Amino acid sequence: MDGPVKKKKMVISQETMDVDFVRKVEMLSDTSVRRCFQCGKCSAGCPMATFMEHPPNRVVRLLQLGQWQRILAGRSIWYCASCETCSTRCPNKVHLASIMDALRKLSWDAEGASKESYVQLANKLFLQNIRSYGRQYEMRLAAVFNVKSGQFLKDLMLGPKLFAKGKLKMFHSKNKNMAEIEKIFGRIEEMRKNGEAL
Amino acid sequence: MTSDKALTYAYFPGCSLHASAGEYDLSTRELFKALEIGLTEVPDWFCCGATPAHNVDELLSLSLCAKNLELAEAVEGDLAVACASCFSRLKFTQHTLGENATKRQQVEKAIDAPVKLEGNVKHLLEILARDLGLERLAASVQKPLSGLKVACYYGCLLTRPTDVPNLDCVEAPTIMEQVIESVGAETVAWTHRLECCGANFTLSRPGVVIQLTNAILDAAKAAGADCIMVGCPLCHGNLDIRQKEIEGVFGANYNLPVFYLTQLVGLAVGLDSARLGLEAMIVNPLPLLKSKGFL
């Protein structure tokens, strides 16, 4: 991608319409973007639309036009709260929340096309925790997030209060069946390497 | 479920109940004991992946949940889930793998076992309202919560999307109101029962969370509620832990205790308040409970 793609004038042609990408989105989300007739109910009910440069209905419209680079270049997909309101209200059964999942997955595969870093960092740390410990340990998650995002003081005032209430645990144990979780992560990586899964 | 058969469940607490939502875990165990409902924790359960996993890697999310469903098979009874997020992910997995043969094949390869989709996954609300039944629940009440005005907050994942959790109507559910009214409390009609609190951004974008959560607290207060009741540790975290901060930012005064459903129902069936984890709540509920004569 060269230059800030979202500011460029949209040109729709055989070259800019990447149908392969849209097919991947449809396969991962098990839904068809062509069913959307732009009624806008998804965006009307979306609690996060005000934080997005492309509200949900426009994300689908851009997919219909094969303009996925514009979506990935922005922050919209990372500001989706996964509240499922859009999927619930769509009159055409377009599973928009699942489309958002697919777009985030493909954005990760495209390696950091989006500028939204905090949400991505939180997701990465969450998944690493599962692989390393089997479960989430909130204190570790929050502490590592603050260090890695450079926000050492974020929510610092909450810490002592939560500690006093027994809501933050200093120590934790690992699952006994950790080898199994590692195998699941490993098998999925293997399947992707062999082209058996997206 | 016949009424003379003893109810017994496999229990999936989820990560939050072992840490920040310890009072939800405690009050669930105590309430079920009091109601003579069996509860056996699934041994060595894994994190369900929650929102972060399906956000960027659906295959991983489905595999983690399928593995948990397999682990749950070892324990007798339907799977009782306390956390709305774990509940949603487990139900999503059953739904998706039942509909999509390709994804099912991939998941079976990832967990190296056939997936088990037959078991029932139930949120605690369903167990109280349907398996035990509202009549039996009402019959267990020792201390009716008369005069307590409760705002029932569902959030996102207990009901949405259509056809997945199948807990209740997606746009106008009543199961929480039914449960708490059956133990004597009043419920308020309010606007934000099903709005999102932004739990997904608790770590990454707290600025977003306080805006969404403020709207919910504001609506509950405007409706005349004394307190809020939830069935999700993530909603609870935002509504309770961040309430003071939100009051400061928005210049508001809410002072709304946020109870887990098991704490309020537990109080009504006569459990000792020391066994409900009330002291772990950030917004102190004791003045309210004393003023209503429940303590």
Q: What is the pLDDT of residues B34-64, one digit of tens each?
A: 999 999 999 999 999 999 999 999 999 999 9
Alpha carbon B136 to its chain centroid, in Å, reads 21
User: Given B46, B161, B282, which is nearest A135 (Cβ)?
Assistant: B46
Flag whether B134 is in a domain. Answer: no
Instruction: Label residue B109 exposed, middle or buried (CB < 10 Å: 0-12, 13-18, 19+).
Output: middle
Give the CA dihedral A162, A163, A166, A172, nearest 10 degrees: 120
Report the pLDDT value the prediction gives residue A15, as an integer from 0 to 100: 80
Picking from B53, B88, B123, the residue at the C-terminal end of a domain is: B123
How near does any CA of chain B get to the CA of A70, in Å? 19
Give strand pairing partners of B229: B152, B259
Rg (CA), chain B: 19
**Is residue A64 predicted with pLDDT exceeding 90?**
yes
More confident residue, B58 or A171: B58
Same domain, B236 and B185: yes
Report the pLDDT value the prediction gives residue A156, as an integer from 0 to 100: 79
CA-nearest residue of chain B to A148? Answer: B204
The answer to whether B147 touches B184, Cβ cutoff 8 Å, is: no
Nearest Cα to Cα of residue B75 among B5, B8, B17: B8
Report the pLDDT value the prediction gives residue B4, as an integer from 0 to 100: 57
Same domain, B95 and B149: no
**Is residue B102 predicted with pLDDT exceeding 70?**
yes
Q: Residues A187-193: what's their mean pLDDT?
A: 97
- The CATH code of the domain that includes B184 is 3.40.50.11810
Mean pLDDT across chain A: 90
Same domain, B88 and B198: no
The answer to whether B43 touches B53, Cβ cutoff 8 Å, is: no
Report the pLDDT value the prediction gives residue B85, as an integer from 0 to 100: 97
What b/e sequence results for B209-228 when a residue is b if at least 16 CB atoms lie within 10 Å of its CB, and e otherwise? bbbbbbbbbbbbbebebbbb
Same domain, B160 and B201: yes
Chain B contact present for A92, CB below 8 A: no
Same domain, B264 and B214: yes
**Alpha helix locations (H) across B165-285?**
175-182, 206-222, 233-236, 243-250, 261-268
Flag whether B2 is in a domain. Answer: no
Question: Which of B204, B214, B234 would you mutate first to test chain A, the one with the most A CBs within 10 A?
Answer: B204
A155 contacts B206? CB cut-off 8 A? yes
Report the pLDDT value the prediction gives residue A115, as an integer from 0 to 100: 73
**Is residue B1 predicted with pLDDT exceeding 50?**
no
| Least confident among A25-29, B4-8, B110-114, B220-224 | B4-8
Picking from B74, B93, B123, the residue at the C-terminal end of a domain is: B123
The answer to whether B202 touches B238, Cβ cutoff 8 Å, is: yes
Task: Name the one residue in this structure whose structure tokens are 């062509």.
Answer: A34
Q: Residues A153-166: what's their mean pLDDT?
A: 82
Q: Write out pLDDT tens, residues B239-254.
A: 999 999 999 999 999 9
Q: Residues B3-10: what's their mean pLDDT?
A: 83
Q: Which helix or strand (DSSP H or E) is residue A48 part of? A: none
Question: Which of A29, A184, A190, A193 would you mutate first to test chain B, the one with the most B CBs within 10 A?
Answer: A184
User: Given A84, A167, A184, which is nearest B160 (Cβ)?
Assistant: A84
Flag whether B132 is in a domain. Answer: no
Contacting residues of A for B170, CB less than 8 Å apart:
88
Q: Residues A3-22: what's their mean pLDDT?
A: 78
Same domain, B207 and B91: no
**Is residue A4 predicted with pLDDT exceeding 60?**
no
A141 contacts B49? CB cut-off 8 A? no
Tell me the DSSP string of B38-73.
EEEEPTT-----HHHHHHH-HHHHHHHHHHHHHHHT
How near does any CA of chain B get to the CA of A187, in Å? 5
More confident residue, B20 or B250: B250
Domain interval for residue B210: 141-291
Report the pLDDT value the prediction gives residue A105, as an integer from 0 to 100: 95
Q: Residues B127-133: what's their mean pLDDT?
A: 98
Question: Which of A121, A130, A187 would you mutate first to test chain B, the one with the most B CBs within 10 A?
Answer: A130
- The CATH code of the domain that includes B85 is 1.20.1050.140
Report the pLDDT value the prediction gives residue A151, as an integer from 0 to 100: 86
Q: Which domains does chain A have, with CATH numbers?
A: 14-109 (1.10.1060.10), 118-193 (no CATH)
B99 contacts A185? CB cut-off 8 A? no
Flag whether B50 is in a domain. Answer: yes
**pLDDT bracket for residue A175 (50, 70, 90):** confident
- Token pair for B204: 């990454």
Strand ranges (E), B67-127: 78-81, 121-123
Mean pLDDT across chain B: 96
Greatest alpha-carbon pair distance for chain B in Å reads: 58
Flag whether B3 is in a domain. Answer: no
Same domain, B251 and B109: no
Same domain, B182 and B248: yes
Same domain, B57 and B147: no
Picking from B77, B96, B123, the residue at the C-terminal end of a domain is: B123
Q: Residues B18-31: what's their mean pLDDT?
A: 95
Nearest Cα to Cα of residue A35 among A10, A2, A57, A9: A57
Contacting residues of B for A196, CB less than 8 Å apart:
106, 109
- Which strands make up the sheet holding B258-260, listed edge to edge? B186-187, B149-152, B227-230, B258-260
Domain count of the fold of chain B: 2
Chain B contact present for A38, CB below 8 A: no
Flag whether B192 is in a domain. Answer: yes
Nearest Cα to Cα of residue A127 among A188, A85, A191, A171: A188
**Is residue B3 predicted with pLDDT exceeding 80?**
no
The answer to whether B14 touches B48, Cβ cutoff 8 Å, is: yes
Flag whether B1 is in a domain. Answer: no
Same domain, B187 and B59: no
Chain B contact present for A151, CB below 8 A: no
Give the CA dihedral B257, B263, B265, B269, nearest 10 degrees: -120
Q: Write out pLDDT tens, residues A92-143.
A: 999 999 999 999 999 998 865 677 889 999 999 999 999 999 999 888 888 8
User: Given B53, B100, B282, which is nearest A165 (Cβ)?
Assistant: B282
- Indicate the pTM of the whole model: 0.95
B52 contacts A122? CB cut-off 8 A? yes
Q: Reduced to 3 states, what is the DSSP secondary structure of residue B180?
A: helix
A166 contacts B22? CB cut-off 8 A? yes
Chain B contact present for A41, CB below 8 A: no
B212 contacts A47? CB cut-off 8 A? yes
How near does any CA of chain A get to the CA of B112, in Å? 8
Same domain, B30 and B107: yes
Report the pLDDT value the prediction gives residue A1, as an integer from 0 to 100: 44
Flag whether B135 is in a domain. Answer: no
Q: Residues A22-31: what's their mean pLDDT?
A: 96
How far, CA to CA in Å, does A191 sit from each of A186, B57, B212? Answer: 9, 13, 39
Same domain, B96 and B169: no
